[in-house]
């Protein structure tokens, strides 16, 4: 099925301006890239933050969007904003594309990549915890006998963080969440689930003593923890931490960037198809 000469996209025409639906066109193909007809698109917090705060956008008009499944229709050309997903067609480097397995829908697949690669970065990037990933030799058991505390376990990033912690062999996974999500997070792999609104600082500190810390939400409890290292996706307010006692590692990376390809390419390879992590239920797609 050939790609059309023109298609619709949600375009940000200027800095801090709402998206406008308009036509786009792309150029002839180049080797090493695939054209994708997008069948579903996820809306992530990073999308409106990039638009409203003019962050990570170097040129306007711009097309945003970070997660999408679709059908490969052709090889494609290199052009600005071809690898974003608020449009009907896009292009991607073939090495970053995973085949959607039969056990999830396109709508479920749309929410996988961004949240998962954020958690992958927190655990396995050199700027995060720096652990060997589970697809490398020894990776599945690298943290045997150790513990990890994950703040915000019910968030999309948190749910993948819990599952990656399980794949990395952590024997104690501690998280906090509202009561209605306790059982669900235990099914994903959490061992200790605390009520995010009710535990005292002492309870949280006792349960998470000796843990590696991975924060998927704003880490307001850092003063009360026994952590020596915290990896977070947020900028941490100075009053929230004791810099003498806690090392903060902030991870904010783009999965397709050259600096992260050493993780994102093997992640894409092991994630999809009928013999990948999702099909084998080593990872469950977050709703």
pLDDT of residue 269: 95
- Of 243, 209, 198, 207, the closest CA to residue 223 belongs to 243
pLDDT of residue 132: 95
pLDDT of residue 218: 43
pLDDT of residue 200: 61
The answer to whether 214 touches 149, Cβ cutoff 8 Å, is yes
The answer to whether 281 touches 134, Cβ cutoff 8 Å, is no
pLDDT of residue 91: 81
Taking the whole predicted model, whether its pTM rises above 0.75 is answered as yes
pLDDT of residue 241: 56
Instruction: Determine the angle formed by the axes of helices 261-271 and 113-124, rounding to 10 degrees.
Output: 130
At 107-157, the pLDDT tens digits run 999 989 889 999 999 999 988 889 999 999 989 988 888 888 888 899 999
Dihedral angle at the C-alpha atoms of 211, 217, 218, 222, nearest 10 degrees? -10
At 11-45, the pLDDT tens digits run 999 999 999 999 998 666 677 788 889 999 988 88
pLDDT of residue 237: 61
What is the β-pairing status of strands 229-232 and 247-250?
A: parallel
Instruction: Give the residues of the chain that fall short of pLDDT 70.
Output: 1-3, 26-29, 75-83, 199-205, 208-228, 234-246
Q: Domains in the chain, please, with CATH?
A: 1-97 (3.90.180.10), 112-232 (3.40.50.720)
pLDDT of residue 103: 95
CA distance 183 to 190: 9
């Amino acid at each position: 099925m050939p790609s059309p000469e023109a298609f619709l996209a949600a375009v940000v025409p200027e800095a801090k301006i709402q998206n406008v639906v308009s036509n786009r066109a792309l150029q002839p193909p180049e080797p090493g890239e695939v054209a994708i007809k997008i069948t579903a698109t996820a809306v992530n917090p990073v999308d409106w933050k990039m638009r409203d705060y003019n962050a990570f956008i170097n040129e306007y008009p711009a097309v945003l969007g970070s997660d999408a499944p679709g059908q490969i229709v052709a090889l494609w050309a290199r052009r600005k904003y071809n690898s974003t997903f608020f449009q009907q067609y896009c292009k991607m480097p073939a090495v970053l594309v995973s085949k959607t397995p039969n056990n999830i829908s396109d709508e479920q697949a749309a929410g996988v990549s961004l949240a998962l690669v954020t958690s992958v970065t927190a655990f396995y990037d050199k700027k995060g915890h720096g652990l060997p990933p589970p697809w490398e030799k020894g990776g599945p058991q690298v943290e045997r006998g150790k513990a990890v505390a994950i703040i915000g376990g019910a968030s999309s990033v948190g749910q993948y963080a819990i599952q990656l912690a399980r794949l990395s062999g952590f024997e104690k996974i501690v998280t906090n969440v509202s009561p209605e999500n306790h059982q669900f997070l235990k099914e994903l792999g959490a061992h200790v689930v605390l009520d995010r609104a009710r535990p005292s600082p002492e309870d949280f500190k006792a349960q998470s003593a000796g843990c590696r810390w991975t924060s998927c939400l704003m880490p307001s409890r850092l003063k009360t923890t026994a952590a020596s290292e915290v990896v977070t996706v947020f900028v941490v307010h100075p009053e929230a931490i004791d810099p003498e006692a806690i090392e903060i590692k902030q991870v904010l990376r783009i999965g397709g960037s050259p600096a992260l390809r050493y993780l994102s390419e093997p992640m894409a390879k092991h994630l999809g198809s009928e013999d990948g992590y999702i099909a084998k239920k080593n990872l469950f797609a977050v709703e």
